[in-house]
Amino acid sequence: MSATTLPRTSPLLAEGDRVVIRRNLSHPAWMHRIDGRDVGMMYLARTDLPELVGVSEVSATRNRTVFRVVDGELVKVAITEVQVHGSNFWFDAETGDQVNSGATHLTRIDG
């Protein structure tokens, strides 16, 4: 098994970048869980939650090595994660998705 870096498809988020924080409304964290005798367990979208959480700035970055499956092989991948001011959550610097959850997402504000 060798160390492999996946190709980056977008510029990484970096310290000082202004970002919009949004909920991933199709994530179970933001849905109602229904346990019905006839339908089994299912999730229904909530209509009382706004998608927009707020605007913030990337305040910290860290580099980590993780294992991922790429083309059926387990490979070691170097990733960069970012944290926004006032949050304890980490986000993938390339995709903007919340690490280990995906319940929220960051988008860079251009300009």
- Is 46 within the bounds of a domain? yes
Residue 25 clears pLDDT 80, i.e. is over it: yes
Does residue 60 lie in a domain region? yes
The predicted-structure confidence for 53-104, as pLDDT tens digits, reads as follows 999 999 999 999 989 898 999 999 999 999 999 889 999 999 999 999 989 9
Domain-located, residue 58: yes
Q: What is the mean pLDDT of residues 26-46?
A: 82
Structural domain contains residue 1: no
pLDDT value of position 10: 58
Token pair for residue 79? 């990733």
Q: Is residue 54 part of a domain?
A: yes
Residue 97 belongs to what domain range?
18-108
The answer as to whether 67 is a domain residue is yes
> Is residue 13 in some structural domain?
no
Residue 7 resides in a domain: no
CA–CA separation, 94 and 79 (whole Å)? 8
Instruction: State the total domains in the chain.
Output: 1
What does DSSP assign to residue 109?
A: P
Tokens representing residue 59 in the block: 């305040």
pLDDT band of 5, cuts 50, 70, 90: very low
Contact present, 21 and 106 (Cβ < 8 Å): yes
The answer to pTM > 0.85 is no
pLDDT attached to residue 37: 74
Q: What percent of the chain has pLDDT over 90?
A: 56
- Across residues 21-32, what is the average pLDDT? 89
Quick one: how far is CA 50 from the chain centroid? 18
In the chain, count H helices and then E strands.
Answer: 0, 7
- Cβ partners under 8 Å of residue 35, min gap 6: 41
